[in-house]
Amino acid sequence: MEYDVIFSSGYEDDLESLTRKIRSDVLLLHNNNYYQLHFITIERIKSEFTASETCYLQESMIILHEVTKENILKSLPHLFEWQFYKCWLPLTEEQIVKYHYPKEDWIIHKINI
């Protein structure tokens, strides 16, 4: 089955993602629903999480060794294999408009799962 993976703020290269070690503008279109995915590295989590803090991870957070377009796209078939998507809540139309518009900035990649 073919799915759309959307980088809602565009995607020119991996430099920003590699530097920030996080990418939260990724949408997955599945069964006419949009799901926001959050990709992060363990280094980024470690840098923000000290012994005195509580850590909350979102249900759609995926930890990668490096946050690159290639790694993001390669991770999605595994997530479907493990059926993680069943735990995710779809975004409302208001959330999509508020956080991910304008659609003209969207870079869409098709993947087969």
- Among 79, 40, 36, which residue's Cα sits nearest to residue 60? 36
When computed from its CA atoms, the radius of gyration of the chain, rounded to whole angstroms, is: 14
pLDDT in tens, 54-101: 766 677 889 999 999 999 999 999 988 988 878 889 999 999 999 999
Question: Which domain range does residue 103 map to?
Answer: 2-112
- ω before 102 within 30° of 0 (cis)? yes
Count of structural domains within the chain:
1
Say whether pLDDT at 50 is over 90: no
